[in-house]
Amino acid sequence: MGRHGHENMGLITKAPRGTLDKLPGEASKCRAIENNALEIAAVYGYKEIRTPVFEHTALFKRGVGDTTDIVQKEMYTFDDKKGRSLTLKPEGTASTARAAIENGLFNEALPLKLCYVTNCYRYEAPQSGRYREFSQFGAEVYGADTPLCDAELIALAYDLFTELGIPDNAYTIEINSIGCPECRVKYQDSLRRYYSEFEDKLCRDCMERLERNPMRLIDCKNPSCGEFKENAPLILDYNCDKCAEFFNGFKSGLDLLSIPYTVNSKIVRGLDYYTNTVFEFVLKSNGLVFGAGGRYNGLIEELGGNAAPASGFALGIERLVAVIGEGAGFPLPKKPDIYIAALGEKAAAFALKLTRDLRCACIWAECDIVGRSVKAQMRFADKIGARFSMVIGENELETGKAVLKDMATKDSREVGLVLEQILGGIYQ
């Protein structure tokens, strides 16, 4: 094969379908969301955890659930060179639980609170807000089985949204209780009874759901199945007394923290180990769900750990970027504090050294590294929006003084070519 082989050159400059390049503007928005999320989570007592990009496929089959769309259709699964079946993480909960079990984190003081920012991979039909590679911020709390624990989780998300400038009238926190396994047996029965009437009109997926996990019928996004959802039985009507009490406690907790919510009994997370609380964050303007979570008291035991209650949520970072949109909530892009132009080789070397010293003092300083003329350097300083500029030539090197110029106001002042004086000029 020649230098370029026979591969399709067109593919080389095209990112794979469903992936998203986060160019500097976009990347800094994601960074702002992630930083805010991790900072707020820290004061709520969450510690960050990082887990591998891929895991044994079995973890997700068990931890996400065999009957979910994720496991049935969306996983990036491959065999490694030793024939092990591995899967790129489609979400963060299963890996976090696996790592906590494997590393004995449940032996430490409970509740254990862990949070993460992670890339996720799902083979889905790409569309706006739906990618094959995306990222999530997630928070998981283990060892607490109280309604207040769930209210506290919602408060974390709510405070983050507020910090990001998303007003609480722009979205709804939709909550529901899917009860305990006993409530669900009765509910699933009534769903089966209700849906069997329409069995031949359901989509193929739903026919299978009816058989294997009727609760997921409520989750179907197929418009043709939508009309049957309307009159379907509601899980809230099937909550036992204990679960109803838990749900009331959860609502009281939200009231206590002045967090607005809407009860929506059509929210289900159709997995056996989910219990009681489920919720979604929904943008009012277009129905975009930008985060979701709930209690999953059955998962840790399902994965082979000692039974431990757990609750958590995940937010889609790309969807949060879309929710926040332009402007509000994001810090303005940063600009350099100072550009130090240089005339001649000696001055260029001096400028580089000075630039470095300023950077060590946390000042964003720039100087010429492409060998431009002073005039071109100043044009560049303008283009990058440097706040101050300074030109250093033979004369400045000799006298040890230079003119610090405010690029916007054109104010100038002479400063000594020592760090303290330049810092003084910038900060004054």
Q: Is 213 in the site for ligand ATP (CB under 6 A)?
A: no
Residue nearest ligand ATP by beta-carbon distance: 316
What residues numbered 131-160 form the site for ligand ATP, per CB under 6 A? Answer: 131, 134, 136
The DSSP call for residue 113 is: E
Q: From the list 160, 191, 314, 365, which residue makes contact with ligand ATP (rule: CB under 6 A)?
A: 314
- Interatomic CA distance for residues 310 and 299, integer angstroms: 8
For ligand ATP, which is the closer residue by CB, 94 or 343? 94
Question: DSSP of 130-150, one letter per residue?
Answer: B-SEEEEEEEEEES--SHHHH
Who contacts 8 (Cβ-Cβ below 8 Å, separation ≥6)?
A: none
User: Using CB under 6 A, which of the segments 199-207, 258-266, 284-292, 374-382 binds ligand ATP?
Assistant: 284-292
For ligand ATP, which is the closer residue by CB, 89 or 405? 89
What residues numbered 287-306 form the site for ligand ATP, per CB under 6 A? Answer: 289-292
- Interatomic CA distance for residues 421 and 407, integer angstroms: 18
- Interatomic CA distance for residues 85 and 57, integer angstroms: 6
For ligand ATP, which is the closer residue by CB, 124 or 272? 124
- Interatomic CA distance for residues 115 and 40, integer angstroms: 11
- Closest approach, Cβ 315 to ligand ATP, in A, equals 6
Q: From the list 22, 130, 192, 401, which residue makes contact with ligand ATP (rule: CB under 6 A)?
A: 130
- Interatomic CA distance for residues 319 and 291, integer angstroms: 8
CB 151 within 8 A of CB 257: yes
- Interatomic CA distance for residues 266 and 310, integer angstroms: 22
- Closest approach, Cβ 73 to ligand ATP, in A, equals 11
- Interatomic CA distance for residues 70 and 34, integer angstroms: 24
- Closest approach, Cβ 266 to ligand ATP, in A, equals 13
Size of the site for ligand ATP (CB under 6 A): 16
Query: In degrees, to the nearest 5, what angle opens at C-alpha 17 toward C-alphas 12 and 22?
Result: 80
- Interatomic CA distance for residues 65 and 272, integer angstroms: 8
- Closest approach, Cβ 171 to ligand ATP, in A, equals 12
x-or-dash string of contact with ligand ATP, 103-122, rule CB under 6 A = -------------------x
Positions touching ligand ATP (CB under 6 A) are 91, 122, 124, 129-131, 134, 136, 289-292, 314, 316, 318-319
